[in-house]
Amino acid sequence: ENRIFSGIQPTGNLTLGNYLGAIRNWAALQDDYECIYCLVDLHAITLFQNPEELRRNTREVAAGLLACGIDPKKHILFNQSQNQDHAELAWIFNCVARMGWLNRMTQFKEKAGKNRENASTGLFVYPNLMAADILAYKATHVPVGEDQKQHLELARDIAAKFNNDWEKPDFFPLTEPLILGAATRVMSLRDGTKKMSKSDPSDMSRINMTDGPDAIAQKIRKAKTDPEALPSEAEGLEGRPEAQNLVNIYAALRGVDVETALGDVGGKQFSEFKPILSDVAVSVLGPIGEEMQRLLQDVAEIDRILCEGSERSRAITNPILREVREVVGFVQ
Ligand code: TYM
């Protein structure tokens, strides 16, 4: 039986990277699978969050997911802190994962920066909590952008070690990542070698899902490029990170592959391609941004959806956690 789980941090703005790398795929998977989508507020506080902002961002990201077509009736949408099983299983995984495994995590190194002594210990064990998120549901598939691949490999290592240590060969599934679409790693508009991120200090580096048509057009107009025209074959994008990124975005927004996209726009100068790209971006993001604003008028309804979602999430994880306690040897 296939079960989909994925999570997103309720920090700052949702970006085009979140949308193309994850959320759009989450929405599409709902037709064929049982899906559980989580706003990971416990992950968010690995870096300090202002409480009012955290609450506001949680509701805003919930509105974003709903506006993108996540269906909270057929599937589950909730925030992580309302299901304590995530934190309990994460503790058990803290005792399964090895220091050496976590020392290899590139995201920790990036987020901790130079001053590693001053990083929260939560930031270090963050991937264990992520494994707990997934395995508390025994989820089989996890749709994410490419930047989460290393964390998912760790989740597999944790599942395998747990199964092996307690001699329960099939207890946790070895979860598969689903990295889908033409833009699995959307890059900064200012630097084609850096990931587009909600935490980049420059707002010009990213397209936010709440940006209006003027902001989108301006950011794309100012996006870094090179002097050449677009190639007509995908190989021609090699060594041209900014061109590659804009073409990937264009292809993903249109839901086609890069070859097909270049069939339309290959040979064009950026001055001609950029307005075309802006129009596609506005036509996809415009209605989503408007729907988000509409949903945010009724915060109580969003809170109700999350509360109900968490109740249904607990109905899945409570029996799995009971099994886990039994396996580990806790009296209950
Ligand atoms: P987060 O909140 O950073 O991002 C949410 C999702 O968006 C994808 N994404 C991108 N995809 C393509 N290009 C980009 N520039 C880009 N930026 C973000 C991410 O890959 C992700 O799929 N640790 C996770 C949240 C998490 C989680 C989980 C995910 C917690 N528990 C369990 C899956 C399963 C994170 O920080 O994602």
One-character DSSP codes across 178-234:
E--SS-SSPBPSS-TTSB--TT-S-GGG--BTT--HHHHHHHHHHS---SSPPPSSG
- Closest Cα to atom 37 of ligand 1: 8
Position in ligand 1 atom list of the atom nearest CA 5: 34
Residue 109 catalytic? no
Q: How many residues does the chain have?
A: 332
85 close to ligand 1 (CB < 6 Angstrom): no
Q: Which helix (H) or strand (E) holds 79?
A: strand 76-79
**Residue 84 Cα to chain centre, angstroms:** 21
Distance 231 CA to ligand 1 centre (A): 31
Asked which of 105-119, 134-148, 213-227 is least confident by mean pLDDT, the reply is 105-119
What is the reported pLDDT for 251?
97
pLDDT at 145: 97
- Is 10 labeled as ligand-binding? yes
16 CB under 6 A from ligand 1?
no
Spatial contact of 66 and 305, defined as CB atoms under 8 Å apart: yes
Side by side, the strands of the sheet bearing 34-39 are 76-79, 34-39, 3-8, 141-143, 176-178
Cα separation values, 216 from 15, 139, 220, Å: 12, 36, 6
Residue 198 CB–ligand 1 contact under 6 Å: no
For the record, the structure tokens of 167 come out as 């001699």
What CATH number has the domain spanning 3-184+299-328? 3.40.50.620
The stretch 64-89 carries a mean pLDDT of 98
What is the pTM for the complete model shown? Answer: 0.97
| Digit-coded pLDDT (tens) for 91-135 | 999 999 999 999 999 999 999 999 899 999 999 999 999 999 999
- 210-294: which CATH number, 1.20.1280.50, 3.40.800.10, 3.40.50.2300, 1.10.240.10? 1.10.240.10
Could you report the per-residue pLDDT of 180-211, keeping only the tens digit for each? 999 999 999 999 999 999 989 999 999 999 99
Calpha distance 141→134 (Å, rounded): 9
Confidence of residue 272 (pLDDT cuts 50, 70, 90): very high
Question: What are the residue ranges of CATH 1.10.240.10 in the chain?
Answer: 210-294
Confidence of residue 76 (pLDDT cuts 50, 70, 90): very high
pLDDT over threshold 90, residue 59: yes
Q: Is 195 a catalytic residue?
A: yes
Report the SS3 class of residue 237.
helix
Known catalytic membership, residue 224: no
Residue 233 identity: E
Catalytic residue among 73, 149, 194, 198: 198
pLDDT 10s digits, 306-319: 999 999 999 999 99
Cβ of 188 closer than 6 Å to ligand 1, yes or no, is no
Residue located nearest, by CA, to atom 24 of ligand 1 = 8
Residue 9 has pLDDT above 90, yes or no: yes
pLDDT at 12: 79
pLDDT digits (tens, 9 = 90+) for 281-297: 999 999 999 999 999 99
Is a pLDDT exceeding 90 seen at residue 13?
no
> Whose C-alpha lies nearest to ligand 1, atom 9?
18
Place of tokens 């996209």: 261
Could you tell me if the CB of 200 is within 6 A of ligand 1?
Answer: no
Amino acid at 51: P
Residue 37 near residue 14, CB atoms below 8 Å: no
Residue spans in the chain of domains classed CATH 3.40.50.620: 3-184+299-328
Q: How far is the CA of 183 from the centre of ligand 1 (A)?
A: 13
Average the pLDDT over 55-62 and give the result: 98
Q: Which residues pair with 3 in a beta bridge?
A: 34
For residue 1, pLDDT beyond 90:
no
List the one residue out of 135, 130, 125, 118 whose CA is nearest residue 103. 125
Mean pLDDT of 210-220: 96
Q: What percent of the chain has pLDDT over 70?
A: 100
- Amino acid 199: pLDDT: 86
**Residue 18 beta carbon below 6 angstroms from any ligand 1 atom:** yes
Structure tokens at 257: 């592959």
Distance 137 CA to ligand 1 centre (A): 18
Tell which atom from ligand 1 comes closest to the C-alpha of 130.
31
